[in-house]
Amino acid sequence: MSQSARSYWDPLWAAGRRYRQLSDAEIALLAGHLSPGRGRPALDIGCGDGGLARHLHHRLGYHTTGIDSAPTAITLAASQDAAPGHGPEWRCMDITTDALGTLPHPAYAVITCRLVYRWLDDKPAFLDRVRQLLAPGGTFWVVTEVVGRRTVADPCERLGITANEAETLTAGWSVTHTADLDVLRCYALRP
Ligand SMILES: C[S@@+](CC[C@H](N)C(=O)[O-])C[C@H]1O[C@@H](n2cnc3c(N)ncnc32)[C@H](O)[C@@H]1O
Protein backbone atom coordinates (compact mmCIF):
# COMPACT_ATOMS: atom_id res chain seq x y z
CA MET A 1 0.00 0.00 0.00
CA SER A 2 1.88 3.09 -1.14
CA GLN A 3 -0.69 5.81 -0.38
CA SER A 4 -1.07 7.00 3.20
CA ALA A 5 -3.16 4.82 5.49
CA ARG A 6 -5.55 7.68 6.08
CA SER A 7 -6.23 8.37 2.40
CA TYR A 8 -6.87 4.66 1.75
CA TRP A 9 -9.03 3.81 4.77
CA ASP A 10 -10.97 6.95 5.56
CA PRO A 11 -13.04 6.94 2.32
CA LEU A 12 -13.90 3.27 2.95
CA TRP A 13 -15.23 4.03 6.44
CA ALA A 14 -17.06 7.11 5.13
CA ALA A 15 -18.69 5.01 2.40
CA GLY A 16 -20.07 2.60 5.01
CA ARG A 17 -17.55 -0.24 4.74
CA ARG A 18 -17.44 -2.32 7.94
CA TYR A 19 -15.29 -5.26 9.02
CA ARG A 20 -15.77 -8.62 10.68
CA GLN A 21 -17.09 -8.27 14.24
CA LEU A 22 -15.60 -10.10 17.23
CA SER A 23 -17.12 -13.58 17.51
CA ASP A 24 -17.69 -15.58 20.70
CA ALA A 25 -14.86 -17.91 19.65
CA GLU A 26 -12.43 -15.00 19.21
CA ILE A 27 -13.51 -13.50 22.55
CA ALA A 28 -12.85 -16.87 24.26
CA LEU A 29 -9.38 -17.11 22.68
CA LEU A 30 -8.55 -13.59 23.79
CA ALA A 31 -9.63 -14.33 27.36
CA GLY A 32 -7.46 -17.45 27.33
CA HIS A 33 -4.34 -15.50 26.38
CA LEU A 34 -4.71 -12.29 28.41
CA SER A 35 -4.79 -11.93 32.16
CA PRO A 36 -7.40 -9.60 33.68
CA GLY A 37 -6.61 -5.95 33.01
CA ARG A 38 -7.02 -4.53 36.55
CA GLY A 39 -6.75 -1.04 35.08
CA ARG A 40 -3.45 -1.62 33.27
CA PRO A 41 -3.01 0.18 29.95
CA ALA A 42 -3.89 -1.49 26.65
CA LEU A 43 -3.47 -0.13 23.13
CA ASP A 44 -5.55 -1.25 20.15
CA ILE A 45 -3.76 -0.33 16.91
CA GLY A 46 -6.04 0.29 13.91
CA CYS A 47 -9.09 0.13 16.17
CA GLY A 48 -11.61 0.93 13.45
CA ASP A 49 -15.05 1.49 14.98
CA GLY A 50 -13.74 0.24 18.29
CA GLY A 51 -15.24 -3.19 19.01
CA LEU A 52 -12.04 -4.79 20.31
CA ALA A 53 -10.97 -1.67 22.25
CA ARG A 54 -14.37 -1.54 23.97
CA HIS A 55 -14.11 -5.25 24.80
CA LEU A 56 -10.64 -4.76 26.35
CA HIS A 57 -11.87 -1.77 28.32
CA HIS A 58 -15.32 -2.78 29.54
CA ARG A 59 -15.07 -6.59 29.70
CA LEU A 60 -11.41 -7.32 30.43
CA GLY A 61 -10.71 -4.31 32.62
CA TYR A 62 -7.87 -2.63 30.73
CA HIS A 63 -7.56 1.13 30.59
CA THR A 64 -7.65 1.15 26.80
CA THR A 65 -6.59 3.53 24.07
CA GLY A 66 -7.79 2.92 20.52
CA ILE A 67 -5.84 4.52 17.70
CA ASP A 68 -6.66 4.65 14.02
CA SER A 69 -5.39 6.72 11.11
CA ALA A 70 -8.93 7.16 9.71
CA PRO A 71 -10.78 10.10 11.35
CA THR A 72 -14.16 8.64 10.34
CA ALA A 73 -13.39 5.41 12.19
CA ILE A 74 -12.39 7.32 15.33
CA THR A 75 -15.58 9.41 15.18
CA LEU A 76 -17.63 6.22 14.82
CA ALA A 77 -15.80 4.57 17.73
CA ALA A 78 -16.28 7.57 20.04
CA SER A 79 -19.97 7.84 19.10
CA GLN A 80 -20.59 4.43 20.67
CA ASP A 81 -19.41 5.44 24.15
CA ALA A 82 -22.25 5.69 26.68
CA ALA A 83 -20.97 9.15 27.64
CA PRO A 84 -17.76 11.12 27.09
CA GLY A 85 -15.05 9.67 29.31
CA HIS A 86 -16.94 6.38 29.84
CA GLY A 87 -14.98 4.24 27.45
CA PRO A 88 -11.58 3.90 25.81
CA GLU A 89 -9.55 6.94 24.84
CA TRP A 90 -9.71 7.43 21.07
CA ARG A 91 -6.87 8.95 19.07
CA CYS A 92 -6.52 9.64 15.38
CA MET A 93 -2.96 8.50 14.76
CA ASP A 94 -0.88 6.68 12.16
CA ILE A 95 1.15 4.05 14.02
CA THR A 96 3.81 3.98 11.31
CA THR A 97 4.61 7.71 11.18
CA ASP A 98 3.28 9.63 14.20
CA ALA A 99 5.39 10.23 17.32
CA LEU A 100 4.87 7.47 19.88
CA GLY A 101 5.42 10.02 22.65
CA THR A 102 1.99 11.52 21.94
CA LEU A 103 0.29 8.35 23.23
CA PRO A 104 -1.20 8.62 26.73
CA HIS A 105 1.15 5.97 28.21
CA PRO A 106 4.81 5.15 27.55
CA ALA A 107 4.23 1.38 27.83
CA TYR A 108 1.28 -1.02 27.48
CA ALA A 109 0.55 -4.34 29.17
CA VAL A 110 -1.38 -5.41 26.08
CA ILE A 111 -1.16 -4.22 22.50
CA THR A 112 -3.68 -5.54 20.00
CA CYS A 113 -3.73 -5.34 16.23
CA ARG A 114 -6.75 -6.92 14.56
CA LEU A 115 -7.09 -7.14 10.76
CA VAL A 116 -4.39 -4.49 10.34
CA TYR A 117 -0.94 -6.18 10.11
CA ARG A 118 -1.56 -7.35 6.53
CA TRP A 119 -1.88 -3.74 5.39
CA LEU A 120 1.30 -2.31 6.85
CA ASP A 121 4.05 -1.85 4.24
CA ASP A 122 7.12 -1.90 6.46
CA LYS A 123 6.35 -4.71 8.86
CA PRO A 124 9.78 -4.84 10.58
CA ALA A 125 9.59 -1.08 11.32
CA PHE A 126 6.06 -1.50 12.68
CA LEU A 127 7.16 -4.38 14.91
CA ASP A 128 10.06 -2.28 16.24
CA ARG A 129 7.54 0.38 17.23
CA VAL A 130 5.34 -2.20 18.96
CA ARG A 131 8.35 -3.49 20.92
CA GLN A 132 9.12 0.07 22.07
CA LEU A 133 5.57 0.34 23.46
CA LEU A 134 5.14 -3.09 25.03
CA ALA A 135 5.76 -3.31 28.78
CA PRO A 136 8.08 -6.09 30.04
CA GLY A 137 5.98 -9.25 30.29
CA GLY A 138 3.29 -7.70 28.10
CA THR A 139 1.36 -9.39 25.31
CA PHE A 140 1.10 -8.42 21.66
CA TRP A 141 -2.14 -9.90 20.29
CA VAL A 142 -2.45 -10.02 16.51
CA VAL A 143 -5.42 -11.30 14.51
CA THR A 144 -4.89 -11.67 10.79
CA GLU A 145 -6.05 -13.76 7.89
CA VAL A 146 -3.39 -16.13 6.57
CA VAL A 147 -3.09 -17.15 2.93
CA GLY A 148 -4.36 -20.49 1.73
CA ARG A 149 -7.20 -20.86 4.22
CA ARG A 150 -10.17 -19.75 2.13
CA THR A 151 -12.19 -22.50 0.47
CA VAL A 152 -13.69 -19.91 -1.88
CA ALA A 153 -11.32 -17.66 -3.81
CA ASP A 154 -10.54 -14.27 -2.35
CA PRO A 155 -12.94 -12.04 -4.34
CA CYS A 156 -10.74 -9.07 -5.12
CA GLU A 157 -7.50 -8.89 -3.21
CA ARG A 158 -5.04 -10.81 -1.07
CA LEU A 159 -6.41 -10.56 2.45
CA GLY A 160 -4.08 -13.04 4.11
CA ILE A 161 -0.46 -12.72 5.18
CA THR A 162 2.17 -14.92 3.54
CA ALA A 163 4.40 -17.43 5.33
CA ASN A 164 7.28 -14.91 5.12
CA GLU A 165 5.14 -12.16 6.64
CA ALA A 166 4.11 -14.55 9.43
CA GLU A 167 7.78 -15.37 10.06
CA THR A 168 8.60 -11.65 10.30
CA LEU A 169 5.77 -11.27 12.81
CA THR A 170 6.81 -14.14 15.06
CA ALA A 171 10.62 -13.75 14.99
CA GLY A 172 12.39 -12.62 18.14
CA TRP A 173 9.68 -13.13 20.78
CA SER A 174 10.34 -15.33 23.81
CA VAL A 175 6.80 -16.77 23.70
CA THR A 176 4.69 -17.33 20.59
CA HIS A 177 1.25 -18.91 20.82
CA THR A 178 -1.06 -19.28 17.84
CA ALA A 179 -4.68 -20.32 17.53
CA ASP A 180 -6.75 -20.71 14.38
CA LEU A 181 -10.25 -19.45 13.71
CA ASP A 182 -11.50 -20.37 10.22
CA VAL A 183 -9.50 -18.10 7.87
CA LEU A 184 -7.99 -16.11 10.73
CA ARG A 185 -4.97 -16.82 12.90
CA CYS A 186 -4.51 -15.28 16.34
CA TYR A 187 -1.01 -14.70 17.71
CA ALA A 188 -0.10 -14.05 21.35
CA LEU A 189 3.52 -12.79 21.40
CA ARG A 190 5.59 -11.95 24.47
CA PRO A 191 8.99 -10.22 24.58
C1 LIG B 1 -9.71 -3.89 8.27
S2 LIG B 1 -9.82 -2.52 9.35
C3 LIG B 1 -9.91 -3.34 10.93
C4 LIG B 1 -10.51 -2.45 11.99
C5 LIG B 1 -10.59 -3.07 13.38
N6 LIG B 1 -9.29 -3.42 13.91
C7 LIG B 1 -11.49 -4.29 13.39
O8 LIG B 1 -11.02 -5.38 13.74
O9 LIG B 1 -12.67 -4.15 13.04
C10 LIG B 1 -8.14 -1.89 9.35
C11 LIG B 1 -8.01 -0.61 10.16
O12 LIG B 1 -6.64 -0.31 10.34
C13 LIG B 1 -6.47 1.09 10.24
N14 LIG B 1 -5.08 1.36 9.86
C15 LIG B 1 -4.44 0.94 8.74
N16 LIG B 1 -3.17 1.38 8.72
C17 LIG B 1 -3.01 2.12 9.86
C18 LIG B 1 -1.92 2.86 10.41
N19 LIG B 1 -0.76 2.94 9.75
N20 LIG B 1 -2.09 3.48 11.60
C21 LIG B 1 -3.28 3.40 12.25
N22 LIG B 1 -4.35 2.73 11.78
C23 LIG B 1 -4.22 2.09 10.60
C24 LIG B 1 -7.47 1.50 9.16
O25 LIG B 1 -7.78 2.87 9.19
C26 LIG B 1 -8.65 0.60 9.49
O27 LIG B 1 -9.55 1.23 10.35
Determine the 3-state secondary structure of 65 from DSSP.
Answer: strand
Number of domains composing the chain: 1
The whole-model pTM stands at: 0.96
Ligand 1 close to Cβ of residue 69 (< 6 A): yes
Is residue 1 over pLDDT 90? no
Ligand 1: residue of 1, 3, 6, 9 to mutate (most ligand atoms within 8 A of CB) is 9
What pLDDT score was predicted for residue 3? 64
- For residue 156, the tally of other CB atoms under 10 A from its CB is 6
List, in sequence order, every residue forming a beta bridge with 112; answer none if it has no partner.
44, 141
CB 25 within 8 A of CB 90: no
Q: List, for residues 16-66, the tens digit of each pLDDT value.
A: 999 999 999 999 999 999 999 999 999 999 999 999 999 999 999 999 999
CATH of the domain at 81: 3.40.50.150
Give residue 91 CA to ligand 1 midpoint distance, Å.
Answer: 12
In 17-133, DSSP assigns E strands to 41-45, 63-68, 89-92, 108-114
The tens digit of pLDDT for each residue in 145-173 reads: 998 777 766 655 678 899 999 999 999 99
Task: State which residues form the domain around 161.
Answer: 3-190
> Is the distance from the beta carbon of residue 10 to the nearest atom of ligand 1 less than 6 Å?
no
Atom of ligand 1 nearest to the CA of 22: 8
